[in-house]
Amino acid sequence: MDENNRTETLHQRLQAVLTALNQTLHGAIPCPGQPAASAAGATHGAGRNDNAYMYILFVMTLFAATVGSLILGYTRSRKVDKRSDPYHVYIKNRVSMI
């Protein structure tokens, strides 16, 4: 019976934490260190980081272009190396003699 009581207490505490988290996420309770949304008069998402997602997208695009060009350059250089490889030239000349 003592085990059941601890489980109920744990469940009540977990429910209280989840309720507080849910209220915080929906703006009913401000996070510590932040003014309330109604007192500040600000809308959700407005502020200094309005275009942060554009910066992240720009940086990711530059990174993708850089990595793509490195991969493309490497694969092209490997194809050039295979054609001018002395062993392949020797085999080609040797087969043409036979």
pLDDT digits (tens, 9 = 90+) for 22-73: 887 777 666 666 665 554 444 555 567 778 888 999 999 999 999 999 999 9
How distant, in Å, are the alpha carbons of 13, 32, 34, 41, 44 from that of 47?
35, 18, 13, 12, 9
pLDDT digits (tens, 9 = 90+) for 80-95: 656 667 777 777 776 6
pLDDT of residue 63: 97
Domain boundaries, the chain: 51-79
The three-state secondary structure class of 59 is helix
- What's the rounded Cα separation, in Å, for the pair 91 and 85? 10
